[in-house]
Amino acid sequence: MKISAVIPAYNSAKFLKEAIDSILQQTHPVDEIIIVDDGSTDQTEAIAKSFENKVHYIKQENKGPSAARNRGIMAATGDWIAFLDADDQWTANKIEKQLAALHKEPALKLIAADMSETDQSGNLITESVLAKHDLLKNFQALNGAALSNALASLVTKNFIPTGTVLVERAVLIESELFNSEIRFGEDLELWAKIACKYPITCLPEVMMLRRQHGNNATQNSEAMLKDLVKVMQSVKKFGSERLKEQNKNPNQLVTSALADLGYWYFSQENYPKARKAFMESLKESPNRRALIYAVACFTPRILINSIKTIKT
């Protein structure tokens, strides 16, 4: 079994060395490290090349992290792929523990894990993201076994941090890799495709340190919410039958995503866009939240602002 680690990097000079070192320090070594430089203009290339034959360096025009990961997957010679972002780090025993889980459950095609969050200086912010979202006990009880109703669980709350994933390369390719047309939630779409067909799990141990800073992708709320609508529309298309088997209404996924987008516009006082999103949500399936806010969008702005003032 050969493992390839893939790091997408864009202007990552500040943290890239720590990311690579965390891979080189694994108690079970990976077979190759592939860095895909996504059009960096800083010292990313120099830092990557300073590791000489320890890494395989690829540079491309800026196309986004999904395209960079896809380039790394296609260049990989391993039959299993592990991901890490250039500003994050693995714990030293990540690969060893994931391989132990795979040995215990050979049918697994994707193994994720818990992660901690730190600030830019490495100070701990969140000890366990699974615990933060009240999921840790569920995965502790699972103890590395394949997750039942994995697709329904994923679309309820994405519990898979990309930087913790160890996944079979053939399954990634079969699932058509990351969707480079989606900037936010493209990982959820891919994991959902895999969970729709194959056994997956998430280990209840911290195996990655994720660095939080202003450049993290999730900072852009409007773009994120718009892309999550696209993700849920995609999941509904390929996963409807499996979702129904797992007692999850596929229409409700899109309905809720559109309502969330509408509420964001409403909170920004962009009532025409809010009204459009709420009406689209209602077309997917009737829901009280979208109906109330759609009606509110037709209310004169001065009255809405008065209501907000009273509520405050």
Rounded distance, CA 126 to CA 105, Å? 29
Residue 180, SS3 per DSSP: coil
**AA identity, residue 17:** K
* Side-chain half-sphere CA neighbours of 66 within 13 A: 17
Dist CA 243 CA 2 (whole Å): 33
Average pLDDT over residues 188-209: 98
In the three-class reduction of DSSP (H, G, I as helix; E, B as strand; rest coil), residue 165 is classed as coil
Burial of 77 (0-12, 13-18, 19+ CB in 10 A): exposed
Q: Does residue 59 register a pLDDT over 80?
A: yes
- ∠ CA 11-68-169, nearest 5°, is 140
In the predicted model, is pLDDT for residue 273 greater than 80?
yes
**pLDDT on residue 289:** 86
> Which domains, and CATH codes, for the chain?
3-218 (3.90.550.10), 220-311 (1.25.40)
Mean pLDDT on 84-90: 97
78 within 8 A of 8, measured Cβ to Cβ:
no
Provide long-range contacts, Cβ within 8 A and 24+ apart, for 55-59.
55/20, 56/32, 58/34
pLDDT grade for 194, boundaries at 50, 70 and 90? very high
Mean pLDDT (whole number) for 240-254:
95
Supply the pTM of this predicted model. 0.91
Beta bridge mates, 32: 4
HSE, side-chain direction, 13 A CA sphere, residue 63: 16
pLDDT reading at 50 higher than 50: yes
How many angstroms separate the CA atoms of 141 and 162, rounded?
Answer: 22
pLDDT at 311: 44
pLDDT band at 310 (very low <50, low <70, confident <90, very high): very low
HSE-up of residue 275 (Cα within 13 Å, Cβ side): 11
Residue with tokens 């891919």: 190
Give the DSSP letter string of 34-98.
EEEEES--SSHHHHHHTTGGGSEEEEE----HHHHHHHHHHH---SEEEE--TT-EE-TTHHHHH
Using CA atoms of 301, 271, 254, 232 in order, give the dihedral in degrees to the nearest 10: -140
> Is 201 within 8 Å of 145 (Cβ atoms)?
yes
